[in-house]
Amino acid sequence: MGKQFITGSLESSDCMVTLYETTTPVIEVDTIVHEAFHDHIVTLINDTLKAENMEHMSVRIQDKGALDYAIKARLLSAIEQYKDDSNG
């Protein structure tokens, strides 16, 4: 497993996102609103990775009921850290 890029927190309404490279990309969502939003969150993560050309990356998220804007922000921040790290 490559380097992990971790953003966010486990506070209520937040999420902790771990972005990392593996041979086969995988999305893991552990959320307190499983029935209501699990599948939606998976889609959100996939869409965001695709828009950023990051479909080769894996994401693990521990979610405490974060809204979409916060999940996206945490993921985008991790992606930018990864890009800075790759370029730096």
Partner 1 sequence: MKIHDSLDALLDALPLKDGLSISFHHHLRDGDRVINLVLNALKERNIKGMHLYASSIFPSYTAIKDLVISGHISDITTNYMNGPVAEYISENGLPGTLTMQSHGGRARAFEEGENKVDIAFIAAPASTKDGDVTGARGKNAFGSIGYAVSDALYANTKVVITDTIEKTLKPQIEGSHIDHLLKIDSIGDIARMASGTLKITKDPVGLKIARETIRFLDAVNAIKNGVSFQSGAGSVSLSITRMFNEYLKSKKLKGSFYSGGITGLHVNALKEGLVNDLYDVQCFDRAAAMSLLENPHHHFMSASDYANPHNPNRIIKDLDIVILGATEIDLDFNVNVTTDSYNTLIGGSGGHSDTAEDAKLSIIVSPLLRARTVLIKDRVNTITTKGTHVDVLVTERGIAVNPKRKDLINTLKNTTLNVMKIEELRQLAYNLTGTPAHKDHKLTPIGIVENRDGSRQDTLYKKE
Partner 2 sequence: MARSYLFIPANEPRMLQNAYVFEADAIILDLEDSVAIEEKHEARFLAREFLRHHPRGSAKTYVRINTESDWLKQDLSMLEHVPIDGIVLPKLTLKMWNTYKKHAESIGVDTDIIGIVETPDAFFELDALGDKTPIKGLILGGEDLVSALKTTRSIEGRELLYPRSMVKMACARHGILAIDTPWTTLDETNLKTDIKHARTHGFDGKCAIHPNQVPLINEALSPSKESIDFARRVVEKHETTKSMRFSLDGQMIDKPVLARAKETLAKASRYGLLKEGLNENS
For partner 1, the binding residues (CB under 8 A) are 12-13, 32-33, 35-37, 39-40, 64-68
Please say which residue, 26 or 33, places its beta carbon nearer to partner 1.
Answer: 33
Q: Does 67 bind partner 2 (CB under 8 A)?
A: yes
Smallest CA-to-CA distance from 66 within 32, 43, 35 is with: 32
Collapsing DSSP to helix, strand or coil, 33 comes out as coil
Residue ranges in contact with partner 2 by CB under 8 A: 7-8, 11-14, 66-70, 72-74, 76-77, 80-81
